[in-house]
Structure 1
């Protein structure tokens, strides 16, 4: 590879890294907008600390857990060592076809923190900050890199007779976060007043413009999330991924629009916003494998699924203030299965491999999340006291209001 092409590839990977980093601002805005004003500082605090936590843990252990080297090929677990140990030729094509060691690390580190950010939204408005950050430390530092290694690090899912396929992480990133989210929300219990006398009471978010801004930031960043996963600046491949990503997101918006209107007889902006995200999550596993029409179908179905996912979780009284479980878990599973149904890899063998990947990662993440959350619940507790929840986490956990001019004066 020429030095010029190597530089171009490396530059595109760094641009993609910046786009994925911007997604954390999108998550912060979306989660803050879809929750109540009295918990805004708490949401913003978590979404500021999680990327920092993710980058640090990924540097010291996560990266070498996820990419332990050829000695652990086909396995379940391996550790290349602690910290970033520079390989020979780290700054040349001797390390990789298209980018440097540091670019490889920082791009992957941006993905690592996303899983815990997904959990943040589902447990919002009633979880203690300290236990949540401790869970995030373990989830980002240990759980995510281990299941990531199973595919992207050359583990057993990559050595199946028909290898499991997850291009940019419908399962490895999004459903990993979704499994943690559903266990956290279940063990926490619903917010006060959410379910009364067998009925579900809507608790509307306080700032829909902010939530909309967050979704567009996420959509924008997703071009780096999927486009960077090409792992080069290959014109044809990156262009295809950009198109399939945009098509699926757009179709997801309409899938959610039609499904929510049929269900609620109203044009619900929150459902359409989650429909966009549903389309994005759904296409992420196979964005490089799909034709335009297949991307539209996958995104549209994702948009429908997210609406009925929200309804289903409400029926079983798992309270998810932002719809993160439906978006990231339900649509992450759908998008991963879609690789075996549509696109260049479609077939029975691929579909079975996709199922194996979904189930094995799901079992591990559920077990890991349950053990950590349950241990915290039985020791230091994971839920704030009732009085603090009613008054708001901002003033009780942080000693400040996000909107002091509008706060109730004593």
Structure 2
């Protein structure tokens, strides 16, 4: 910037633009979540997937503005616009927009696990609680105003603070482990397991699934690179590490799944999820390995979940986000070390402690919230509604109305 101080009005504006562009890229990822789910569920549940994710996004926007962001960072926007703009061109409120996109990932992740048999409004309610209360509370302990409460513990026990640059654990692991209680309480879809035997339900649309993966992958560079927060802190290493982890995931899935297109496109996402935590401190080759391992975890983890454990997690969000997000937290402690070409400043012990704390936090919250909803309003469609499909049962229209008329 030709020596210009980033505290000047132009510097402030540059930071606002930088964050805003990142926010728009991550916002676009929610279209990726939608198409990934639409391509995976049956035709009779495609409209529901689109409406769910857009509604969850809208509700998350409101609750994170009013409750979540103030919990996480101690900043409220219930004041005059002049004060919101302040002297930094409204950087804080743009930061809210960017971090909202992370918070809204939580209900979007869960949506894929509970697809095809969940009631609409109870899930919207759960998403609101997670985006407005649960997620911001953990966010505050790792990135926000209450960092010292937990990070000091990790540092004293493990020798360093817990490092999660762009949310392998804070976002993805939390989302995936929150989804597991919902999937378990809901139970499998009708016909998925009959008399102990597995009857896989085929996906409806490979092109939509692939489109969802591509949209997510492109938006992910906003997710990771713009996590720098300020233009002067941008890192080319983060961009290339994200790329290398993605292709590592694709190539590993290609081999491990024997060319299965569903696994190949989810393999890209597995790599990107895993590299978020350490994308700023790993060597690019380590990022490639991290992504490849993540993809292998998903290919075999999905099979174990569905066929051995008989957990009907429609999009495999527990292994993809929960387990692989946890792997990303640990990978930062391994490949971020100077001995393996990383920048250092991390320890495996601290990464393990932070990762385990996220798992425990998510499971407690997931079982509590979904348990209460299940016992009160119920969270599963009745058999007739599930058989007819969520599109007609909830929205009174199918994805292909002309076909319905015929």
TM-score normalised by length of structure 1? 0.90
5+ residue gaps, structure 2: none
RMSD of Structure 2 on Structure 1 (CA): 2.1
User: Does the 8 A contact of 1:60 with 1:84 survive in 2?
Assistant: no
Provide the residue aligned with 2:286 in structure 1: 294
How far 1:177 sits from its partner (Å)?
0.7
Establish whether residue 55 from structure 1 lines up as the match of residue 61 from structure 2.
yes
State the aligned residue count.
Answer: 388
Match of 1:277 among 269, 292, 297: 269
Deviations 1:14-36 (A, max 9, x none): 11110000001110011011100
How far 1:85 sits from its partner (Å)?
8.1
203-212 vs 398-407, which moves further: 398-407
Residues 127 and 308 of structure 1: CA distance in aligned 2, closer, same or farther (over 3 Å): same
How far 1:325 sits from its partner (Å)?
1.5
Residues 330 and 55 of structure 1: CA distance in aligned 2, closer, same or farther (over 3 Å): same
**CA–CA separation in structure 1 for the residues paired with 2:335 and 2:166:** 16
5+ residue gaps, structure 1: 69-79, 262-266
1:8-87 correspondence to structure 2 within 5 Å: 8-68=14-74, 83=78
Q: Secondary structure at the match of 1:407?
A: helix
**CA–CA separation in structure 2 for the residues paired with 1:243 and 1:400:** 43
Q: Secondary structure at the match of 2:381?
A: coil
User: Does the 8 A contact of 1:128 with 1:384 survive in 2?
Assistant: yes
Establish whether residue 150 from structure 1 lines up as the match of residue 141 from structure 2.
yes
Residues 225 and 87 of structure 1: CA distance in aligned 2, closer, same or farther (over 3 Å): farther
How far 1:196 sits from its partner (Å)?
2.1
Q: Secondary structure at the match of 2:351?
A: helix
How far 1:89 sits from its partner (Å)?
8.2
User: Does the 8 A contact of 1:64 with 1:83 survive in 2?
Assistant: no
How far 1:199 sits from its partner (Å)?
2.4
Provide the residue aligned with 1:92 in structure 2: 87
1:134-145 correspondence to structure 2 within 5 Å: 134-145=125-136
Deviations 1:210-236 (A, max 9, x none): 11111100001000000110112237x
How far 1:83 sits from its partner (Å)?
4.4
**CA–CA separation in structure 2 for the residues paired with 1:283 and 1:84:** 38
**CA–CA separation in structure 2 for the residues paired with 1:82 and 1:361:** 28
Deviations 1:49-95 (A, max 9, x none): 11111110011000011113xxxxxxxxxxx66847889685435x9
Match of 2:226 among 215, 225, 228: 228
User: Does the 8 A contact of 1:118 with 1:178 survive in 2?
Assistant: yes
User: Does the 8 A contact of 2:15 with 2:91 survive in 1?
Assistant: no
Deviations 1:158-217 (A, max 9, x none): 323211110010010001110111111010001111112332222111111011111100
**CA–CA separation in structure 2 for the residues paired with 1:25 and 1:216:** 10
**CA–CA separation in structure 1 for the residues paired with 2:95 and 2:303:** 40
Provide the residue aligned with 1:312 in structure 2: 304
Residues 349 and 59 of structure 1: CA distance in aligned 2, closer, same or farther (over 3 Å): closer
Provide the residue aligned with 2:201 in structure 1: 203
**CA–CA separation in structure 1 for the residues paired with 2:82 and 2:228:** 22
Deviations 1:137-174 (A, max 9, x none): 11111100000011101423332321111001001000
Deviations 1:107-147 (A, max 9, x none): 11111100110000000000000111111111111100000
User: Does the 8 A contact of 2:332 with 2:346 survive in 1?
Assistant: no
Q: Secondary structure at the match of 2:380?
A: coil
Establish whether residue 398 from structure 1 lines up as the match of residue 391 from structure 2.
no
Residues 215 and 44 of structure 1: CA distance in aligned 2, closer, same or farther (over 3 Å): same
User: Does the 8 A contact of 1:249 with 1:276 survive in 2?
Assistant: yes
Deviations 1:329-348 (A, max 9, x none): 11100010001100247789
Q: Secondary structure at the match of 1:234?
A: helix
TM-score normalised by length of structure 2? 0.91
Q: Secondary structure at the match of 1:340?
A: helix
How far 1:9 sits from its partner (Å)?
2.5
Establish whether residue 364 from structure 1 lines up as the match of residue 329 from structure 2.
no
User: Does the 8 A contact of 2:180 with 2:366 survive in 1?
Assistant: no
